[in-house]
Amino acid sequence: MANRSEQAVADEIFSSADPLALFSSWLTEAEATEPNDANAMSVATVDGEGLPNVRILLLKHADEDGFVFYTNTQSAKGVELLGAGKAALNFYWKTLRRQVRVRGAVSPVSAAEADAYFATRPRGSQLGAWASAQSRPLESRDALIEAVGELEKQYDGKDVPRPPHWSGFRVVPQEMEFWINREFRLHDRRVFLRGDVNSQWQTARLSP
């Protein structure tokens, strides 16, 4: 798919009324142009001391209810997400030269949602979710491989159940900002803001 002109994309962001629909449109376009992981995003959290953390994760689902990803709930990010109840996301598509920033409240997905997604994962990833005490010290890589081997024996011929410490989180956006690269740093930026999910989106153009 050929990239649309910067002006065409700018016209789109400044005429759109629904930022979640706009994001979906951009993600679809990125999936056709990015060489790898168009759904990759930075996920920023804060720990109990207020110190920020950021890492790259993969978005697994996005709709009018928010942005969903999965992780070990006992990992650093899992603990921070549960503790603060809020997060920020950042998507950057280099080939399109566009960016979307998201901030909002975080809540766990339902057990049924987590079970359904876990069942779609490759078996090796399912076993890895049990084997890895994510973010905690690891004696050696051999120890991790050995743990996976033991789990392979334990679940030989059986379905691998979802670990109780592995689930998903949904970021419900209260702020979404769309950015388009322009020459000489005269970029186009538009922000959408709302107080909660029942509020109407308010919007403004931002200086680059």
Active site residues: 185
Pick from 90, 94, 96: which is nearest to 171 by CA? 90
The label of the residue with tokens 């789990």 reads 151
Asked whether 23 and 38 are in contact (CB, 8 A), the reply is: no
Read off φ and ψ for residue 88, nearest 5 degrees: -125, 145
